[in-house]
Structure 1
């Protein structure tokens, strides 16, 4: 019974969040599937190419150092990954997923695509939707070769940013520690949603929830499962 009540509370929370959101034409860069969940939660089109894919931390930070340069480069598909763990993942994944380089040294793993043609078509279309005047960036700093140094580099970037961590790291202004941390980006979205102010952040405010928003989140966004 509580499962169905929790799902109803989440549905109500999504409706209210969509009404609270004023900034509807933003682009979110994310190193995994977490970003897609933001757009779904808010009922918005994917105005970002970072959907259904992942980047290992070193490549993601390299892309963020020159985003307009890298996102203007064509995808160059590769048979093998630069990362051994990705090659191992490829062998046990439900299907072989495309892997591509941007600018010769930033690798993207298109986990949820079944062909190079599909990956290229959707990536190219969504790159054209980027609103370069309204960029938000999110980084999971506790997986995929992330290091404390890369977290610090991300935290110093000039765009509005959010860092998700499995445990605290000192002097990171954009950090949110995720209870019941998971490496799954979709599950991670549900687990962190009660613990920061997503809509307030996208509306130009802080990631940190006020007392009122904390109560709102606790009531409307219970973590299921």
Structure 2
């Protein structure tokens, strides 16, 4: 559970769905003590897969999860030296993969994924990319070009030419985890959520 400051700012409207490539989305829901309205909780995408997923999000989220052995992953060469320590489920949605890092088995994944999918508010999406070791400048540019009204990319370096980018310099420290209070030092999450654009139809 992410730590909270003594007084958490109020949100005007809590009926939003955060789509994120790692645990930040879940941390934000926890920070404001509100219900998860997204299936992208406790998991991660490799950066290029995540941008591809976002480019056709309704298509991908209409697909059934297909669980695979780590050795079947299209990304196996990137993590094969760690394969013996992978004790969490990996699943495909069509041609992209999701790593369910904080789930004990496939049954837990399916139960929580389906329950949270039923809560997604398609008219009120908040899209977040957190730079990770699989991310690069081209991926960040691709993310910035995606046609979402409410998106932010948290990066480890400054990219003033990237409209959606916000640099969180503390994340250059590889021992740090993404944390809402750290992000709040650089980016007003409450204001971002309260001033988001909501689809009317």
Task: State the TM bucket, normalised to the shorter chain.
Answer: 0.7 to 0.9
Query: Given the superposition, is the C-alpha separation of residues 158 and 38 from structure 1 closer, same or farther in structure 2, using an over 3 Å criterion?
Result: same
Alignment coverage as a number of residue pairs: 190
TM-score normalized by the length of structure 2: 0.87
Q: CA deviation at 1:180?
A: 1.4
1:56 aligned onto 2:56: no
Give the Cα–Cα distance (whole angstroms) in 2 for the partners of residues 29 and 185 of structure 1: 22
Hey, what does 1:13 align to over in structure 2? Answer: 7
Give the Cα–Cα distance (whole angstroms) in 1 for the partners of residues 116 and 191 of structure 2: 25
Please list the CA deviations of residues 141-162 of structure 1 after superposition, one character each: whole Å capped at 9, or x if unmatched.
Answer: 3x24212111111112222111
Tell whether the 8 Å contact from 1:55 to 1:109 is kept in structure 2 after alignment.
yes
Structure holding more helix per residue: 1
Hey, what does 1:82 align to over in structure 2? Answer: 74
1:117 aligned onto 2:83: no
RMSD after superposition: 2.1
Report the 3-state secondary structure (helix = DSSP H, G, I; strand = E; otherwise coil) of the residue aligned with 2:170. Answer: coil
Give the Cα–Cα distance (whole angstroms) in 1 for the partners of residues 31 and 84 of structure 2: 32
Q: CA deviation at 1:204?
A: 1.9
Hey, what does 2:34 align to over in structure 1? Answer: 44
Hey, what does 2:88 align to over in structure 1? Answer: 97
Hey, what does 1:197 align to over in structure 2? Answer: 188
TM-score normalized by the length of structure 1: 0.78
Hey, what does 1:126 align to over in structure 2? Answer: 116
Gaps of 5+ in 1: 1-6, 207-225
